[in-house]
Amino acid sequence: MRILLAPDKFKGSLSASEVAHWLEAGLTAGSTRGRISCRSLPLADGGDGSVQAALDAGFTPIPVPVTGPAGAPATTTVASNGSVAVVEVATTSGLQMLPPGRPAPLASSSAGFGQALRAALGHGPEQIVLALGGSATTDGGAGMLSALGVEFLDAAGEPFVPSGGTLADIARIDPAGLIPLHGVDLVAANDVRNPLLGPGGAAAVYGPQKGASPDDVRRLEVGLANLMRRLDEAGWPGTACADVPGSGSAGGLGYAAMLLGARMVSGADFFLDLLGFEQAVENCDLVITGEGKMDGQTLSGKLPLVVARRAAPVPVIAVVGHNALTTDRLPEHRIQRIHALSSMTEQDSAADPALSAALLAETGRHIAATLTSGKDTIHS
């Protein structure tokens, strides 16, 4: 039996490649007489882990110094294969870059993401993929635009780099210094459909997840509205882009990406294409996918369901850290079985990479044993 291992990361625990590695170790150990062969294709959906998935697929790492979301210096990685570069928010302006328990909803900036994008442009790619998940900021992408040469000025005419809490201080925007982007296909990989403003917007919906209090959310909303007006005054389609689905993604980075001419795409579908899923699934008898937590959001089209749809007619099972759904079988979504690590232990495997690895290997052995013994039926 030929099995394709195509998981997403287990957030906070293991990368997608580590998940695939430990599953393969268990499958190989549990297989009798070599009846199972595995191929690994670690995946991503545009969130954190997108650059690593590209590197696992053969892209070259390019180290880039950046300013982290709260101003501390950091080094990120851009993945490039010469014609395509992948830049992600999570490792440039992401929540994971802040000290535990110390979010910075007002002080954080997306400048680091802009610095990484600028560095990627310097290598002459035809396409740059903007992986928008995991942002620590709600600055409407103003920090990114500043890093790309757009100047933001206060009431005294002094230039500054905006953060979420200082967007209301923008009195004028001068786009004259924006670096050239002609001839580069900017792709914003994102599965969030929120607009920039309003009760369903970046500040109201995602601000609290980044540590924003109700007062902070109101301040961020006022600032984003001011950013939109100042962009209109500078000749940019500020108001027009604010209502486009996805403009509220990554604290408004989706909005700024649209202003630069980026096209929004489904993160999961795009990365499956970029990483060669169609070729990898050919001649396979089974696909094993997974993610850290399977819940109601998964059913709205997250990576495991996209994998199941794209794998058809090859059968699919899922291995997840935790299954919060009411059933362990989702035939209507082409996922035939779900194996959850949380059902195997009373400990929190999400906070223990070594435990997650051991449980994945055990799960692989169990799957192999049932497949090769004929006790389980996987059908297309």
In whole angstroms, what separates CA 81 from the centre of its chain? 19
Query: Which tens digit of pLDDT belongs to each residue from 10-26?
Result: 988 999 999 999 999 99
pLDDT band per the 50, 70, 90 thresholds, residue 309: very high
Whether residue 326 has pLDDT greater than 70: no
Calpha distance 251→137 (Å, rounded): 5
**Ordered domains of the chain (ranges, CATH):** 2-43+277-373 (3.40.50.10350), 50-267 (3.90.1510.10)
pLDDT at 34: 74
Instruction: Give the mean pLDDT of the chain.
Output: 94
State percent of the chain over pLDDT 70: 96
Whether residue 60 has pLDDT greater than 70: yes
Please give the structure tokens belonging to residue 208: 């609290």
Whether residue 377 has pLDDT greater than 80: no
Say if CB 36 and CB 1 are below 8 A apart.
yes
Whether residue 380 has pLDDT greater than 80: no
Query: Which tens digit of pLDDT belongs to each residue from 182-211?
Result: 999 999 998 889 999 999 999 999 999 999
Give the Cβ contact number of residue 363 at 10 Å. 23
pLDDT at 302: 85
- Mean predicted confidence (pLDDT) in 151-157: 98
Say if CB 288 and CB 367 are below 8 A apart.
yes
What is the residue-wise DSSP string for 183-229? T-EEEEE------SSSTTSIIIIITGGGT--HHHHHHHHHHHHHHHH
The number of CA neighbours under 13 Å toward the Cβ of 370 is 12
Calpha distance 243→196 (Å, rounded): 6
Q: Give the residue ranges of DSSP H helices in 31-89.
A: 50-56
- Mean predicted confidence (pLDDT) in 273-281: 96
- Mean predicted confidence (pLDDT) in 85-114: 96
- Mean predicted confidence (pLDDT) in 128-140: 96
- Mean predicted confidence (pLDDT) in 363-377: 82
pLDDT at 299: 73
pLDDT band per the 50, 70, 90 thresholds, residue 303: very high
Please give the structure tokens belonging to residue 197: 């403003």
State percent of the chain over pLDDT 90: 87
Calpha distance 15→53 (Å, rounded): 9
Whether residue 379 has pLDDT greater than 60: no
pTM: 0.92
pLDDT band per the 50, 70, 90 thresholds, residue 118: very high
Say if CB 166 and CB 193 are below 8 A apart.
no
pLDDT band per the 50, 70, 90 thresholds, residue 372: confident
Give the Cβ contact number of residue 65 at 10 Å. 12
pLDDT at 297: 74
